Amino acid sequence: MTQYVLMNPGPINVSPTVRRALAEGEDLCHRESEYFDLQDRVREKLLTAFGLSPEEWAAVLVTGSGTCVLEAAVVSSLPTGGTMLVVVNGVYGDRIAKMATAHGIEHERVETGWLEPPDLALIEERLTEGRFDVLAAVHHETTTGMLNPVEALGEMAARHGAAFLVDTISGLGGETFDFGAIRPTLAVCTANKCVEGLPGVSFVLVRRDHLDRMTGVPPRSLYLWLPGYFAAQENRSTPFTPAIQVTEALEAALDGLIEESVRGRIARYAEASRILRDGFESLGLELLLPPERRSNTITGLRLPPGIDYDRLHDALKARGYVVYAGPGKLREDTFRISNMGQIPREALEAFAGHLRSALEEVG
Ligand SMILES: Cc1ncc(COP(=O)(O)O)c(C=O)c1O
């Protein structure tokens, strides 16, 4: 079977150690001490990797994709009757608002175009005029690869007494995320992007005082109720059957992250995106975002005139690379290249040449 170079923004190419952990992990019962030891270690390693104090923070594991744990964070972040202000400038901010709608949570959107940053003045105005329990935003909008100003948003949330829920599913591990400066209440992430684990397990890094406040609030969901997961995990238990072997792979991924350090990983990804972007510029391709808004991991590109995305995708796949379509209304004339995960430098350096020949083939 061909091992493609995955240039989609997760799931990513993982290290042999992570893959081995999945394949060679033990068969465990999730009601036995061996599983609880694994769960304890993974929760602890998450805090260690991101430099968080266990007195202030807890890692809560949830079996499911990023959307699953994000929905858990949304429904577990407000008291009964609480309201949420949602920053929307892409698919994933929109998804948070849709989750609020699905659960009957009162909310308001502050929306800008997908190629624009959030309107901080309008957000300040809404936080001043309204009474919001939670401000929710996406750190790295995977829609375009845009970094949103989470530090400014966190400062506003703190000043207005709102909890700050951050979807950093495609950011954490790949971008600087200063918990002290951003002051998130809940930071939501998944195993299979910049943490370099496999899909199936996700997590929230959440302030313990928030979980204390949420205790006693009537659950809005059975499966997606974070205080329930937290209470069980603190007591060496689990409410439901977890993805045990994926958690074993996550432990291996966290060992890798701690060894490389978050700073080291960010530097590796920054260098990878530099190699790719130098190549894109040499091909005369137009990048969607100005340099100051670009992340270390996703490059949004304008499709050259006359190029059909699906044909370009197939031509690149035949050369061993999986690339990613633009989302929603950006599908017609853009595409995305991600450099998350274990991509060898040679594969990054060779990509521009493959892209050139693929463009010539389908043009
Ligand atoms: C910012 C962001 N939020 C949420 C999600 C949803 O995660 P999943 O596809 O794992 O459910 C993604 C996936 O790409 C994402 O990038």
Per-residue pLDDT of 347-356, as tens digits, reads 999 999 999 9
- Name 150's Cβ contacts closer than 8 Å, sequence gap at least 6: 137, 139, 166, 168, 177, 182, 184
Atom of ligand 1 nearest to the CA of 140: 1
pLDDT surpasses 90 at 1: no
Mean pLDDT of 158-167: 98
Per-residue confidence (pLDDT) for residue 35, from 0 to 100: 97
Alpha-carbon separation of residue 191 from 95, 111, 280, 336 (angstroms): 19, 28, 29, 21
Mean pLDDT of 323-336: 95
Per-residue pLDDT of 75-129, as tens digits, reads 999 999 999 999 999 999 999 999 999 999 999 999 999 999 999 999 999 999 9
Angle, CA 102 vertex, CA 331 and CA 192 arms, to 5°: 55
pLDDT bracket for residue 25 (50, 70, 90): confident
Per-residue pLDDT of 202-255, as tens digits, reads 999 999 999 999 988 999 999 999 999 999 999 999 999 999 999 999 999 999
pLDDT surpasses 90 at 26: no
Atom of ligand 1 nearest to the CA of 199: 10
- Name 76's Cβ contacts closer than 8 Å, sequence gap at least 6: 186, 214, 220, 224, 225, 226, 227
Mean pLDDT of 318-342: 96
Per-residue confidence (pLDDT) for residue 101, from 0 to 100: 98
142 lines ligand 1 (CB under 6 A): yes
How many angstroms is it from 363 CA to the middle of ligand 1?
Answer: 32
How many angstroms is it from 141 CA to the middle of ligand 1?
Answer: 9
67 lines ligand 1 (CB under 6 A): yes
66 lines ligand 1 (CB under 6 A): yes
* Atom 10 (ligand 1) nearest CA: 66
190 lines ligand 1 (CB under 6 A): yes
Mean pLDDT score of the chain? 97
d(CA 193, CA 198): 8
pLDDT surpasses 80 at 2: no
Per-residue confidence (pLDDT) for residue 215, from 0 to 100: 86
The answer to whether the CB of 287 falls within 8 A of the CB of 277 is: yes
174 lines ligand 1 (CB under 6 A): no
Query: Which of 299-309 are b and which e, b meaning 16 or more Cβ less than 10 Å from the residue's Cβ?
Result: bbbebeeebeb
Atom of ligand 1 nearest to the CA of 138: 1
